[in-house]
A and B are shown apart, each in its own frame.
Chain A
Amino acid sequence: MSTYVYGIARNSPALERASRTPGVGDPPRPVRVLSHGRIAALVSDVTEELRPKRRDLLAHQNVLSEAGTAGAVLPLRFGGMSPDDEAVAAALAEREEHYLERLQAVDGKDEFNVKADHDEEAVLHRVLADDPELRAMGLAQQAAGGGSQQDKMRLGELIVEAVRQREELDRAEVQRALEGAAVDSAPAPEGSGRVANVSYLVERDRAEEFLAAVTAFQQANPQLRLQVNGPLPPYSFVE
């Protein structure tokens, strides 16, 4: 038997609320509060052969969400296990000040993850509208019934380059449009394959303002498809 750890919070009786949420495992193990000094970990027993299933991912997320209603919580990455409770307590003790500092930083805030992709047809319209020469080439090619293979290659190459530039511009514009309503932001690691994939740390009482900024930005930028997920535990703001 090992100890599965969901997250770290300030030691508070309100944490017991999270222990009513079923934990990982099959059958789900009850969630416990393991306190050490001023901080506490949300844990549950887990057998060594725990396999990450969908319901376990959900349990991890749900325990953290529920704990978040009681106060700031630092979510652990899914799957963190300690040999026993004593080792958890030792880990808490080792970096107590650091965890308290991070808890302070995320207090009263939630993570919102924003993903942006280009809408193909809309972005083509956009880059052709922004570049009269390119648009003229497109019109000429249409008038010629599609143009020769060589014409297509040339136009296609120019369009691809224009779309690539639009990607970079849009990435920057997403950031510019949304960072004002957030206190911090964390882009996904390079190579997410999206125009933008950024998490924002947003004060709870400014969440509506943040979402309104997303909506306004979406309306002004039909070439983008924005997807917002949140509020979430502050996964991206724990370090």
Chain B
Amino acid sequence: MTVVPAQQSSGSRGGSTGLYDVLELILDRGLVIDAFVRVSLVGIEILKIDVRVVVASVDTYLRFAEACNRLDLESGNSKDPGLPDLVGEITESGARGKSKGALAGAAQSVSDVFSGGRDDEEEKESRPRARRSTSSSRRKEEQE
């Protein structure tokens, strides 16, 4: 769980934490006044992977069955999902990289923002799926 601390007292500084996670609010919600025009969002690319969390398909069925095979069913207890190595394992397990990703992959509502300027070239490549880890590292770079 991530709780982004209050940014209200800081004002000019420190507002970058969690910008990625609230982008959809800044860009898609908020008041719209009909008489105003909206700044062109050219140069900003929001990739939204809108898929059901679990996609019913042969691939998914097999993947879940395999995942079930790897589970320790004897213990019956849920492992602590907060363990970092578990997070890594799920990330690596392949769901995220496939177009029909289930769960861990598809659960990401990927909305990535490529700001203009230096990101332009990368943006044109229009990758099929923006990975969160990628955007995180970019975010760090841009904080500089």
Contact = CB atoms under 8 A, between A and B. Distances in A.
Given A52-B43, A81-B37, A228-B1, A121 B68 contact: no
Interface string B91-134: 00101000000111011111001011100000000000000000
B25 to A, nearest CB: 4
A108 interface: no
Given A82-B35, A229-B2, A223 B78 contact: yes
Chain B interface residue number, banded? 35 or more
Interface in B37-90: 37-44, 48-54, 56, 58, 60-69, 71, 73-74, 76-81, 86, 89-90
A22 B11 CA distance: 9
Given A68-B8, A193-B51, A226-B1, A156 B62 contact: yes
Contacts of A146: 66, 69
Contacts of A120: 67, 90, 93, 95, 103-104
A105 interface: no
B53 A118 contact: yes
B81 A119 contact: yes
A180 interface: no
A34 B66 CA distance: 62
A77 B63 contact: no
B8 A66 contact: yes
A55 B51 CA distance: 30
Nearest to B93: A120
B31 A76 contact: yes
B77 to A, nearest CB: 7
A58 B2 CA distance: 19
B9 A232 contact: no
A230 interface: yes
A119 B117 CA distance: 36
Contacts of A58: 15-16, 19
Nearest to A139: B73
A239 B33 CA distance: 11
Contacts of B50: 191-193
A167 interface: yes
Contact of B4 (A121, A157, A230): A230
A232 B22 contact: yes
B82 to A, nearest CB: 8
Given A2-B37, A52-B115, A225-B81, 19 more contacts: A4-B39, A5-B33, A7-B31, A51-B116, A57-B113, A80-B36, A82-B36, A117-B53, A119-B90, A147-B69, A155-B65, A188-B24, A189-B28, A195-B53, A223-B81, A228-B4, A229-B2, A235-B29, A239-B31
Interface of B: 1-4, 6-9, 11-12, 15-16, 18-19, 21-33, 35-44, 48-54, 56, 58, 60-69, 71, 73-74, 76-81, 86, 89-90, 93, 95, 102-104, 106-110, 113, 115-117, 142
9 contacts: A53-B116, A80-B31, A113-B21, A124-B68, A142-B69, A153-B65, A159-B65, A164-B52, A194-B107
